[in-house]
Every structure is written in structure tokens, then in C-alpha cells.
Structure 1
Amino acid sequence: MNQIDNLSINAIRILSADAIQKANSGHPGLPLGCASVAYELWARHMNHNPAAPDWLNRDRFVLSGGHGSMLLYSLLYLYGYGDLTLEDLKEFRQLNSKTPGHPEYGHTVGVEATTGPLGAGMGMAVGMAIAERHLSAVFNKESYPVIDHYTFALGGDGCMMEGISSEAFSLAGTLGLSKLIILYDSNNISIEGSTKLAFTEDVEMRMKAFGFQTLAVEDGNDIEAIGNAIERAKADKEHPSFIKIHTEIGYGCPNKQGKASAHGEPLGEDNVRALRENLQWPSQEPFYIPDEVYENYRALRESLIQRAGKWEEMFEEYCRKYPEMKELIDVYFNDDSIKLLENNIEFWKRGKKPEATRNISGQLLNMMKEIIPNLIGGSAD
């Protein structure tokens, strides 16, 4: 790892620790442990456009472990997403701030999913991957892969314990959602202590049974190994991928690293100071980020914007060649879907014949799809 990568990774750790300490509330363990994973993903493997957060073909990133929200806020700030500022990071977990304790979709620029209840983000990520599969089938034409993006989801042991994850993963494997990549923050620590207290299963074997390609990275700070695993995941065109990454909760803080106490409470002023010293951070000033780090993130940002620009050129040509598809895209990505339903009063009228609610649900879905063609639904069996 070169010096600028190391500084840029540690900037995520420092901003996260400082914001949580200032708020006197939060979860530093995940941001400290997963900073290298997130940096490598966002810098070298994830297509996103900080200048246009709603870019149609962006890769989606879901922080299923939503308690580690400062990891995400730090990334969004450093990449220059929207109007998110350093002052917003300083207002972490404060009433009406742009940086609430858990990520909220539609509230903070760049947040793709509202997460907090563990495992729920995994279900949403599977849904996003299903949407990508559907959209690509509808809109892509030869030489015009206008819909071609990945969904990445990051979660830890808690997400793997939840039943909702298994249900969603089972469907993902069955459907062969190869554009879905799960990053497993495996640190063997839960809020109570060691995962041996309640969670000893072989998670990789379970994911293989679901139909996932499984990969492992032994060192969560080895960005080369992390990058190689992500590229191997992308290379598999038949299966979703699951990357188990051995991390250390609270990495960099000598008195907290690898301990349950790093999970859900501020490090404490002395420990934040020790974190800076251990990481050889150039200043003890809170929220201080060296100029060369900002310059590195600006360069990464510009590269991402240029990459997205090439897609925009292709998309403009696609729209000229297939104007009917452009019209359909406008329908699919209409923000007024609810109004469309409200304007169809006849739609809600029901007959007098008693019917099972499951049958009524099916009828409603089939009626709604005529108004909202991008609606995808299902039932338990």
C-alpha cells in the first residue's frame, strides 16, 4: 500500500472517530475496521458519479450495517457528494442534521437505502440486483449496454445472523444475480462479545448452498487482495458473489481494537488521541485532513466523473437511435408513480364477492403493473 492510499484510508477512520466522539454517541468499530475495504471499493471498483449522485447506471452501495454510518458519511464528504460539508459531519447524530445515526434514503445525498435493522439492507440489495436484471433485459440493445451496474452490500456478523438475509440470499442464488456482490465484514465480535456465544456456523458453506460464489480475504487491510476478490466476483457471470473479509473491529485504536467495546460507544478522548498516534496521523486537531488527502479524493472524483461521461455519450446516441426506449425510460423512472395510482379511481373499486386477500393482492399487482410497468412483486410461495 502506498502512502497516499494509507493516508486516505486513515482519513475515513479519523473523521469517523472524531464525529462519533463529538456526538458522544455512535459506532466506531465498523468504520475503523472496514475503512480499507470501503476505500478500495469506492476508489477502484465501483462506478459512481459524485457530481451526479442519481446517475442512472451507477453501482449501488448498501451499508447493511447501518450503525456504521460514519463510514458512509466520510466517503460521501471526501468525494464531494452534493452539499455535504465538514460541518455536517460535526453535526453527526444531532437533531435535523444531514448525518443521522443511521443512513436515511432521500435525506442524505448519496445514501441508497435506509438501514439500521440488521439484515434489511441485504434484502434491499437483492431487490436492487433484481431491478438491474430486469432493466437490462428491457432496455439494453446490441452495442448499447445502458443498464450495466453492480450492487454492493457491506454487512457484518449481525447481518448474517438475521433470517431476512438468508431468505433474500436464497432468492439471489436461485435467480443467479451475478451483479450482486456481498462484502462480509467478518470480525468475530458482536455487541455482547465473541460471536462464539451465539454464532458458530460456517457462513461460507451456507452461501455456497444458496448458490453464491464464495471468496475470502484474510487481511481486511490488504487492499490488493480486496481488489482482486472484487474483480473475481465481477468475473463470475452466473452467480452472485460473497466475499468474506477478515477485519478487526476498532482497527487502529490500541485499547479498543478487536474488542466488543469498540462496537457501539465513542472511543473516548484519550483513545482518539492514541488512535491518531498509532496511525501516525499528522495532527491531533479534530477533523484535520491533510491537503494531499483532499487532492487524492479530488483526483479520484474527476476520474469517476470522466468515466460516467463516457456512458452519457453512449446514452445520448442510444436515445437518438431508439427514441421509443427513451420514452419508456422516462415512464420507468417517473417520480410521480403514486399520483398515477391516485388518478385512477376506478382502479380501487372492488366487487362484492368475498375473496382471499392473497387473490386480491395478485389482482391488484396485475392492475398496478399496467400503470407502473417497472413494478416487481411476489408472495411467500
Structure 2
Amino acid sequence: MNINQKAVNALRILSADQIQKANSGHPGLPLGAAPAAYELWANHMNHNPKNPNWSNRDRFILSAGHGSALLYSLLHMFGYEGMTIDELKNFRQFGHLTPGHPEYGHTIGVESTTGPLGAGVSTAVGMAMAESHLASVFNRDGYPVVDHYTFAMTGDGCLMEGVAYEALSLAGTLKLDKLIVMYDSNDITIEGDTSTAFKEDVAARFKAFGFQVQIVEDGNDIESIGKAIENAKADKERPSLIICRTQIGYGCPAKVGKASAHGEPLGEENVKELRKFLGWENENEFEVSSDIYSHYKKIADINADKEARWTEMFERYCNEFPELKEKWNLFHGELDTNKLEDEAFWSYETKAMATRATSGDIINKLKDMYQNLIGGSADLAPSNKTEMKGEGFFSPENRSGRNIHFGVREMAMTAITNGLYLHGGLKPFCATFFVFSDFMKPMIRLAALMGLPVAYVLTHDSIGVGEDGPTHEPVEQLAMLRTIPNLNVFRPADYTETAVAWASAIKSKSTPTALVLTRQNLPQLEGSSREAEKGAYVLSEASNKENIDLIIMASGSEVELAINAKVELEKEGYSVRVVSVPCMDLFEIQSCEYKEFVLPSYVKSRLAVEAGSTMPWFKYVGLEGDVIGMTSFGASAPAGVLFKHFGFTTENVVEKAKNILKK
């Protein structure tokens, strides 16, 4: 048995041992896909275990994240920091670096959190876009300082998910030639043979996308796999798909080709049979011969030399192009948030504006302040007001464009945006109508889980959408987004609060931000201030702030309504405080003293007003308060008619307030 075969089998055995010891996991993919993974990592992928964050490394995403044991085996064998044999022995155990599915930021060498099928390969599209864009910004003749590939390993499940269709269609349209997808095609899912639900010609589909497609009939033939990877790299016009025909559970006589190999430990006796079939000499679990470790170390040393040569080139580049060195540092360092203190950022015309228009104005300030701001919309830029003027659109002909045509692909757009950030060097955002955040939610959740400070511009935020009707009028979406941990959801009331929301998004280091914005014009409010950065603040104080009768809370377009109601109530002698609550998430992390100041506990009479689900507000209004919100879907009619029909009028707010005060 030659050293390459031994190296492949080491990945198989270590993966099987991890899963067996944990009595939990997915051995099928690691056993079948180990040859393709080994050939890629050993002979075609530039990565340096001694510096996992080398900026010009090739990116690898295990989109089929259930096969995580294979990735951890690779990281261990190549000597990535922290991935010791003890970590493999503690696969899927609390507090260790080997969780059930790979987690970005938790395990060195993991480029993206994967697990939800299709998410990983869609994120990879964003990484490939980032590489292409940054290459156009920084590369000069003789200095390819940004020159690397993005590899994604997928399975049948990934390619059934709609998000993968969306993202890979865009990848073909954009001719992302440095994206290479490796498809572990074993024709098995949890329920059995894929033919029960998946009979399409995948090769033909990818050719229709605009991909180069190759088929390796024997997934154990590492020489053929290597040739396919080199052919993919040689194609400078198209992304590539390499279909590797494999057997799930390869090497385990009792499990090979069976659905039970997918997500069940092999069993102790079957692991012994696996060792025998593979000719594995070590009987003890987690034991790998020194010659195999030495082989992996030699490969790792070669990759370290590759980075050293790149570093030498980069130093010459910086000496020859000092202005680009400075720009590189700006792109790859922390954003200079002091720029947000510039008075011009906060200045605005006093005319009424929809907060979507306000956001558009702010985006066009930010694009001059931060040259690595990049983003776009799901075919809605004119409505979302997200186009950065004069910056062009990213395309095969214009890789330097900072605007992105995502097409009508909300879920893929969000995954791609995650990939743009994960690559490094860019500050991305994406946009659509707020009601379509339903399509985005799984990828927003992953961004929050990974701690990616990306921004989502979500316009047409309520029944104010009007004539488009209930299909386009978001009702429950605010409540939905507010339930996601580590996501700041802003619904600003005017220019100042929108600027605060964007400033918060720019300053954020580990939390994504959703900006929920109106279609209809809103006035610029007296009392609106940067106190909005605390999530909630006193926008209009009570006539007698030492003896407040009622607190009215609101967000977005309903803040104006709260102020109008306060005026009417104070005419009748009531002392009413109006609290603007643009971001519950930020208010929740304020000090107890501040929260008590804004919402003093002695004031039991409280009313919240928001044109969305009432659910999030009850923790603030208490048992004696009330909420004016949406408890049904909307309807098709002009916005003014709908607001009146559903009770969003000064008269109704006043009436509800009086009912509370009478209790």
C-alpha cells in the first residue's frame, strides 16, 4: 500500500473512530469522500496550518457539514493548532473543538459554519465573488496578491436545496472561474436511494448554469480526481463542478451503499471490519503510524513555503505601491469608526422622507467613507434605495463594481453576503422587501450564529405597503427577527435614528444588523437624537416628569402617532412620556439604571404602538398595559385606508390610552 492510500485511509479510520466513540455522527460521507478530500488538500489547495488566516489561502467549505469528522481528521493530520488527537476523541462533546457540525470562529480552519444543507456552497459563491472583486482592486502586473480558489464539497442533499440552485445559478452568470464545487455523488440520503425524490440530470443542470462539468466515475481514483481539479483551474471562463461517483460507507462491508451508513455509528464490530478491509495495521482506536504523520507534515511544510514566497512578493508590492499598501490595510483592518463623528454624516434636509430613502442617502455617504463597502439587492435596488452612485455593478466585465445584482434570490443573496464577509476585506450588505425576510431567515440565523457584522436593508416595513396587499405586508416578521439571538433589529423613525442604525452596523464587530424601513414618508422628529444607539430613549418628555401618568412606546412610523396622541392627552391634563424604541435588542443590554430611567417601574400605565405583531411588546407594557398592533394579516388598499382600518390613528391611540388610565 503506497503512502497516499495510507493517508486516505487515515482520514477514514479517524473519522470512524470519532463517530464510534461519540456514538453519534455521520460516517458515510467521510468514508466515501476521503480520497477526494485528501487529493484536494494535499496536492491542489494552498493552505498553511501554521497560519490558517493567510489572506491568500484557498478557501474550503464542507457544505455537507454532517461529514464534519472528515474535516476534523484533515485538520488534525495537517497539524492545525488545537486539533489534537484528544479533540478527535471528544467529537461532539461539550466544550471541545469538534462539534457535530463545523462552526466558524470555534475551530481553527473552519471557514464557515455549515450544517443546513445548501448553505455552505451558497456561502462559497460569496467568497469567490470577494476574491474576484479584491483581485480587481489590488492586483497589478506581476503582483497577483489576491489569487486563490474557493472549494466547496457538497452532497446530494445540498444540491436538492433551493438555496444552492439560486446561488450556483448566479455563480454561472457571473463566471466565477475560481469557484470549484466537488460533488460527493453517492445516490443515498437518509430515506434511501436518491431516485425516490431526485432524478434530475445534475450535470446538465450545471451546464445550463454555465459551469464546466467533469465526472470522475471512481471516487477512489485520486489521480483522476487530481486531473479534474487541474482541468477546473485551467478554465478561466467558468466555475466548475466535479462529480465524484462514490460509495457511501466505503470500506465497511455491512454498511457500504446503505442509507444506514449516513447518520449512524458503524458499530464496534463493523469498525473492526473496516480496518480489515482497508488493510489498516493499527488495531487501537485513534492510532496512526508515524510515517503517515510525516507524510502530512511534508505537505504542510511545502504549503508554508508557498506562503513565504507570497509574503516576499507582497513586501515588494507594498514597496512599489505604497498607496495600495495603505488601502490594503484599510480593507483588512478594523473600520475607522471615528469617521462616523463627521458632522456631514448626521446632517440632513428637514423635509419628510421615507426611511428607505434616508437609508439610501446614508449608504451613499458611507460608500465614500468606506471603500470596502459592497452590496446590493434582490432585484429591488430602485425600491430599496441601495445603489451606490457611480460605483458600477459587479459583473464578469466589471469585477471592481461595488453594487451587486443578486437577482430574485433572497435566500442565496443572504448566504452570499455572509460569504463576502467571511472571505475578509469587505463590509457587505444586502436588501429586499421586509416581507421577504422570511426567505432570508435561515441565512440571517447563520450570520448571527457566526457573529458576522453584516447589514440587511429591509424596506416596505408594514401595512403601509398598501395596495400590494397582505402577501406583501409584513406583520409577524419583526417578531420573528427579534427572536434571533445576536441580531440587532432597528426600526428607525426618522433620519437621525436611521443614521444611528447604520452607524451601529458599521461599528459592530460580531453582530449583524437588520434595518427595517418605511415605504411612506415620515417627518423628521423634534427630540430625535443619537440616544437611539441605546435602543430606546425618551423622545418626548412628559409635562410633569416627576409624576408620569402614561408612557407610550413606539417604533418607526408609529412614533409620530405616539407624539400626536401625547399632545391630545396632555391637553386633557395627563402627563405623558413618549419613548422611541428603534432597537429592542440594544435596549435589553443597557444597564438596569438606564432601563429604569426610560421606563420607570412606578409607571404601570403603558401603551405600545407598532404596525406589526403585538407579541414582542408585552414584556414592556406589563399586565396593566396594552398594545396597538396587528393581530391579523393586512389587506389590499391605500396605506391611509389600512392604517385607519387597523386602528393606527391618533384617535384610537388616545382612546386606548384613556382606557388604560381608567383602570
TM-score, L = length of structure 2:
0.55
Residues of 1 paired with 2:274 and 2:339: CA distance?
54
1:375 alignment partner, one of 373, 376, 380: 373
Q: For residues 202-250 of structure 1, what are the alpha-carbon distances to aligned partners after superposition, in whole Å with 9 as ceiling and x for unaligned?
A: 1111111111111110000100000000000000000101111101111
1:129 is matched with 128
Q: Conserved in 2, the CA contact under 8 Å of 1:26 and 1:101? A: yes
Residues of 2 paired with 1:325 and 1:12: CA distance?
42
- TM superposition shift of 1:170: 1.1
Q: For residues 52-82 of structure 1, what are the alpha-carbon distances to aligned partners after superposition, in whole Å with 9 as ceiling and x for unaligned?
A: 1000100000110011111111111111112
Indicate the SS of the match to 1:377.
Answer: strand
Indicate how the Cα distance of structure 1 residues 356 and 141 shifts in structure 2: closer, same or farther if over 3 A, else same.
same
Q: For residues 312-350 of structure 1, what are the alpha-carbon distances to aligned partners after superposition, in whole Å with 9 as ceiling and x for unaligned?
A: 11111111111111111111112x349568767975788
Residues of 1 paired with 2:340 and 2:155: CA distance?
40
Indicate how the Cα distance of structure 1 residues 210 and 43 shifts in structure 2: closer, same or farther if over 3 A, else same.
same
Q: For residues 332-370 of structure 1, what are the alpha-carbon distances to aligned partners after superposition, in whole Å with 9 as ceiling and x for unaligned?
A: 112x3495687679757887735274x566545444433
2:89 is matched with 90
Residues of 1 paired with 2:6 and 2:317: CA distance?
41
Indicate the SS of the match to 1:302.
Answer: helix
2:603 is matched with none
Indicate the SS of the match to 2:263.
Answer: coil
- TM superposition shift of 1:307: 1.6
Residues of 1 paired with 2:146 and 2:94: CA distance?
38
Per mean C-alpha deviation after superposition, the further-off stretch among 365-374 and 174-183 is 365-374
Residues of 2 paired with 1:253 and 1:44: CA distance?
27
Indicate how the Cα distance of structure 1 residues 279 and 380 shifts in structure 2: closer, same or farther if over 3 A, else same.
same
Indicate how the Cα distance of structure 1 residues 37 and 363 shifts in structure 2: closer, same or farther if over 3 A, else same.
farther
Indicate how the Cα distance of structure 1 residues 252 and 343 shifts in structure 2: closer, same or farther if over 3 A, else same.
farther
RMSD of equivalent CA atoms:
1.9
Residues of 2 paired with 1:348 and 1:41: CA distance?
50
Residues of 1 paired with 2:74 and 2:208: CA distance?
34
Q: Conserved in 2, the CA contact under 8 Å of 1:149 and 1:179? A: yes
Q: Conserved in 2, the CA contact under 8 Å of 1:250 and 1:259? A: yes
Indicate how the Cα distance of structure 1 residues 315 and 127 shifts in structure 2: closer, same or farther if over 3 A, else same.
same
Indicate how the Cα distance of structure 1 residues 139 and 95 shifts in structure 2: closer, same or farther if over 3 A, else same.
same
1:204 is matched with 203
Q: Which has the larger radius of gyration?
A: 2
Q: Which amino acid aligns with 2:151?
A: F
Residues of 2 paired with 1:349 and 1:271: CA distance?
70
Indicate how the Cα distance of structure 1 residues 294 and 347 shifts in structure 2: closer, same or farther if over 3 A, else same.
same
Q: Conserved in 2, the CA contact under 8 Å of 1:129 and 1:180? A: yes
Residues of 2 paired with 1:103 and 1:185: CA distance?
18
Q: How does 1:49-88 map to 2 (within 5 A)?
A: 49-88=48-87
1:152 is matched with 151
Indicate how the Cα distance of structure 1 residues 102 and 362 shifts in structure 2: closer, same or farther if over 3 A, else same.
farther
1:164 is matched with 163
Residues of 1 paired with 2:300 and 2:72: CA distance?
16
Pair 1:249 & 2:234 matched: no
1:264 is matched with 263
Residues of 1 paired with 2:283 and 2:291: CA distance?
17
Q: Which amino acid aligns with 2:288?
A: I
- TM superposition shift of 1:180: 0.4
Q: How does 1:271-290 map to 2 (within 5 A)?
A: 271-290=270-289
Residues of 2 paired with 1:305 and 1:27: CA distance?
32
Residues of 2 paired with 1:373 and 1:142: CA distance?
22
1:26 is matched with 25
1:219 is matched with 218
2:232 is matched with 233
Q: Conserved in 2, the CA contact under 8 Å of 1:365 and 1:377? A: no
Q: Which amino acid aligns with 1:193?
A: G
Indicate how the Cα distance of structure 1 residues 137 and 85 shifts in structure 2: closer, same or farther if over 3 A, else same.
same
Residues of 2 paired with 1:380 and 1:135: CA distance?
22
- TM superposition shift of 1:171: 1.0
2:300 is matched with 301
Q: Which amino acid aligns with 1:89?
A: L
Indicate how the Cα distance of structure 1 residues 140 and 96 shifts in structure 2: closer, same or farther if over 3 A, else same.
same
Residues of 1 paired with 2:13 and 2:351: CA distance?
63
Residues of 1 paired with 2:338 and 2:31: CA distance?
45
Q: Which amino acid aligns with 2:88?
A: L
Q: Which amino acid aligns with 1:332?
A: F
Indicate how the Cα distance of structure 1 residues 365 and 301 shifts in structure 2: closer, same or farther if over 3 A, else same.
same
Residues of 1 paired with 2:173 and 2:238: CA distance?
9
1:37 is matched with 36
Q: How does 1:286-365 map to 2 (within 5 A)?
A: 286-334=285-333, 336-337=334-335, 347=345, 353-355=352-354, 357=356, 359=357, 362-365=360-363
Unaligned runs of 5+ in 1: none
Indicate the SS of the match to 1:98.
Answer: coil
2:551 is matched with none
Indicate how the Cα distance of structure 1 residues 141 and 285 shifts in structure 2: closer, same or farther if over 3 A, else same.
same
Indicate how the Cα distance of structure 1 residues 364 and 108 shifts in structure 2: closer, same or farther if over 3 A, else same.
farther
Residues of 2 paired with 1:197 and 1:338: CA distance?
54
Q: Which amino acid aligns with 1:47?
A: N
Residues of 1 paired with 2:228 and 2:61: CA distance?
18
Indicate how the Cα distance of structure 1 residues 85 and 247 shifts in structure 2: closer, same or farther if over 3 A, else same.
same
Indicate the SS of the match to 1:153.
Answer: strand
2:115 is matched with 116
Residues of 2 paired with 1:78 and 1:343: CA distance?
49
Residues of 1 paired with 2:29 and 2:361: CA distance?
44
Indicate how the Cα distance of structure 1 residues 353 and 248 shifts in structure 2: closer, same or farther if over 3 A, else same.
farther
Q: Conserved in 2, the CA contact under 8 Å of 1:340 and 1:371? A: no
- TM superposition shift of 1:103: 0.7
- TM superposition shift of 1:256: 0.8
Unaligned runs of 5+ in 2: 380-663
Larger relative contact order (Cα-Cα within 8 Å, sequence gap ≥ 6): 1
Residues of 1 paired with 2:206 and 2:338: CA distance?
40
Residues of 2 paired with 1:348 and 1:229: CA distance?
54
Residues of 2 paired with 1:27 and 1:341: CA distance?
49
Higher strand share: 2
Q: Conserved in 2, the CA contact under 8 Å of 1:155 and 1:184? A: yes
The structure 1 segments of at least 4 consecutive aligned residues displaced by more than 6 Å after TM superposition are: 340-346, 348-352
